[in-house]
């Protein structure tokens, strides 16, 4: 009987941890995956021990078999996988048992080295293909903390290789992964990916917390459910991490997961054959346990993508263009000029003030704290920019909550500029995720924390990137992650306006088009030559007199801004002004 048919009528008992048991049994800190090549008898013995304990699903010793973890080329990875599969098959043959299954085990590929999404997708696919070529029909992606790359590679694996695909995530006791995403939404989101057959949790937590987390989730009825907890929680003993949990307690608590509808149970870190034997002894392997099946309910998962900026308190669309103006926080604590500008812009009828997050990687006053002070002193709506350069997932969540209790609910979420090369020896970038990843955290918090009064956030569009189709796809991804509006790079030509119009047509995004009234020839040359992502043409530079006065430069600036507005007025939902050198008084001349 194949695995897909077998699991319809039987619970599956998976094996326990390979890595922690290998380290304990052989007193080594060596990565166990190398044993597939150098200590083959050890691998076979561990598989055999789990099969003797009662497991009928073993996972290959390949959790970290990838080019990043092993620092080897893919030919070594391929050979390692082949040996791992061969050793697992030998153990199954030696057991003499029927209805024993082997799953190819795939752990996360590290992205610390800046591996591109395309390369990650290729590596995961090639790993899966190697398993398929060796006759493995089941693969498990385990201990993942998000599904960004999985969402791209799993449909390809299913379509081209036809494997049974299992995915399990690692979360903490509160039910959140290291990326800040909840178990609830990780499971619901992965279920929407074409090709996924089984979903669930493994690692990170013991059976007690895993039960509490899964018990609160509306589980899908059309997917196999995986529940593979740790033995418990480790303690540091003799410079080693050890688990003090008892097999009997683990077995009793893990068996309770069957009552939630778990189809596959087993053990992760800290478990050994003794744990699996205790679990086998108290569970029935013949008939599936009665399941409390819960249909996934996605109604409460839908967060409105309607841009609230464009509607009044009665839900009627406003009849004027939305106006956002950027004010750059100072390098020091002197905020007098910025506050003067904020008061001026409030009186000028501006809708929201935005504050960049240390642009170009140069330290300025914190964007959220600056926004909080401006809101407190003026009452005008504010929108701090938040980039991914400086904070991890925990700090980002804390920041959103701190901003919210200070009445800030609007954010521009961007990936952000890198740390300048001159400072990289002292300052390390975080980049825990891209802007889409941070949007997913905000989306998560809107569902879980801010349900009554959600955050309103948007993203950036750089219309000057070469591949327009890629820009459109990225915009759609951001909208799927909850972005309700977009601020663009400054527009300086009709061609750029046409590209934005196309993006609008293809996505339906709410677009606030960027307008930067350059105030002199020198300013135009600087933006042209020194600032990436902004396309100031020679034609624009030449419109400014070489030795013109301040008044001459401002006259051209106003004319240029009005010209840009004529290009974008038919499709833009609003304008996003950035005034060089704080010349905010030009706004009335432009819009007057």
Centroid of chain to Cα 263: 28
182 Cβ contact list (under 8 Å, min separation 6): 171, 175, 176, 444, 447, 448
Please answer whether residues 444 and 185 qualify as being in contact, where contact means their C-beta atoms are separated by less than 8 angstroms: yes
State how far the alpha carbon of 36 is from the alpha carbons of 18, 21, 528, in Å.
Answer: 12, 15, 56
Please answer whether residues 226 and 7 qualify as being in contact, where contact means their C-beta atoms are separated by less than 8 angstroms: no
By CB atoms closer than 10 A (0-12, 13-18, 19+), residue 122 is middle
Biggest distance spanned by C-alpha atoms of the chain: 92
Provide Rg for the chain, Cα atoms. 28
State how far the alpha carbon of 180 is from the alpha carbons of 144, 386, 442, 499, in Å.
Answer: 12, 16, 9, 35
Please answer whether residues 492 and 515 qualify as being in contact, where contact means their C-beta atoms are separated by less than 8 angstroms: no
Question: Is 203 labeled as ligand-binding?
Answer: yes
d(CA 428, CA 424): 6
Which helix (H) or strand (E) covers residue 368, if one does?
helix 367-378
Q: For residue 389, which of 353, 437, 443 has the smallest C-alpha distance? A: 437
By CB atoms closer than 10 A (0-12, 13-18, 19+), residue 492 is buried
Residue 83: half-sphere exposure toward Cβ, Cα within 13 Å: 20
Q: For residue 35, which of 83, 67, 101 has the smallest C-alpha distance? A: 83
Q: For residue 432, which of 422, 421, 440, 424 has the smallest C-alpha distance? A: 440
Which helix (H) or strand (E) covers residue 505, if one does?
helix 494-507
CB count within 10 Å of CB 120 equals 21
Tell the residue number behind the tokens 């006759």, with chain if given: 135
Could you list the residues known to form a binding site, using ranges: 203, 268-269
Could you list the residues known to form a binding site for Zn(2+), using ranges: 203, 268-269
């Amino acid at each position: 009987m194949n695995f897909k048919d077998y699991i319809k009528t039987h619970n599956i008992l998976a094996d326990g941890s390979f890595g922690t048991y290998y380290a304990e049994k052989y007193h080594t800190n060596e990565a166990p995956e190398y044993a597939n090549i150098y200590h083959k008898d050890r691998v076979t013995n561990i598989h055999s021990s789990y099969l003797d304990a009662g497991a009928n699903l073993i996972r290959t010793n390949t959790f970290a078999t990838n080019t990043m973890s092993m620092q080897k080329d893919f030919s070594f990875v391929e050979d390692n996988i082949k040996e791992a599969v061969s050793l697992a098959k030998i153990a199954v043959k030696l057991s003499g048992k029927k209805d024993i299954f082997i799953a190819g085990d795939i752990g996360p590929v590290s992205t610390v080295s800046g591996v591109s999404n395309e390369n990650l997708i290729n590596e995961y696919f090639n790993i899966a293909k190697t398993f398929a070529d060796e006759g493995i029909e089941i693969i498990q992606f385990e201990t993942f903390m998000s599904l960004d790359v999985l969402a791209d590679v799993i449909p390809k694996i299913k379509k081209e290789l036809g494997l049974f695909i299992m995915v399990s995530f690692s979360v903490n006791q509160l039910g959140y992964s290291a990326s800040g995403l909840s178990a609830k939404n990780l499971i619901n989101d992965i279920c929407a990916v074409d090709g996924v057959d089984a979903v669930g949790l493994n690692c990170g937590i013991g059976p007690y917390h895993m039960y509490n987390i899964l018990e609160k989730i509306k589980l899908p009825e059309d997917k196999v459910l995986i529940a593979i907890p740790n033995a418990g929680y480790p303690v540091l003993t003799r410079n080693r991490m050890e688990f003090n949990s008892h097999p009997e307690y683990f077995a009793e608590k893990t068996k309770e997961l069957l009552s939630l509808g778990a189809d596959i149970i087993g053990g992760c870190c800290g478990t050994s054959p003794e744990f699996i034997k205790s679990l086998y002894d108290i569970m029935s392997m013949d008939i599936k346990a009665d399941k409390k099946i819960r249909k996934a309910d996605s109604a409460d998962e839908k967060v409105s993508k309607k841009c609230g900026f464009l509607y009044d308190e009665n839900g009627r669309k406003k009849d004027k263009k939305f106006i956002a103006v950027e004010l750059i926080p100072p390098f020091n604590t002197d905020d007098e000029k910025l506050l003067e500008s904020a008061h001026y812009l409030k009186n000028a009828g501006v809708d929201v003030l935005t504050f960049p997050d240390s642009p170009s990687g140069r330290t300025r006053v914190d964007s959220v704290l600056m926004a909080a002070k401006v809101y407190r002193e003026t009452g005008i709506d504010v929108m701090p920019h938040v980039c991914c350069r400086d904070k991890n997932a925990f700090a980002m969540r804390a920041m959103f909550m701190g901003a919210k209790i200070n009445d800030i609910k609007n954010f521009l979420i961007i990936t952000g500029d890198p740390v300048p090369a001159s400072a990289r020896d002292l300052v390390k970038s975080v980049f825990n995720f891209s802007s889409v990843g941070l949007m997913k955290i905000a989306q998560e918090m809107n569902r879980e924390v801010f349900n009554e009064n959600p955050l309103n956030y948007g993203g950036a569009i750089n219309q000057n990137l070469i591949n327009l189709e890629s820009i459109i796809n990225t915009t759609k991804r951001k909208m799927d992650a909850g972005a309700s509006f977009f601020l663009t790079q400054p527009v300086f030509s009709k061609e750029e306006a046409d590209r934005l119009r196309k993006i609008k047509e293809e996505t339906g995004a709410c677009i606030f088009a960027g307008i930067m009234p350059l105030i002199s020839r020198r300013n135009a040359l600087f933006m042209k030559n020194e600032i990436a992502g902004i396309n100031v043409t020679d034609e624009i530079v030449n419109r400014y007199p070489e030795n013109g006065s301040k008044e001459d430069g401002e006259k051209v600036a106003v004319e240029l801004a009005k010209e840009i507005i004529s290009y974008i007025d038919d499709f833009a939902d609003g304008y996003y002004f950035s005034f060089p050198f704080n010349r905010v008084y030009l706004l009335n001349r432009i819009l007057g």
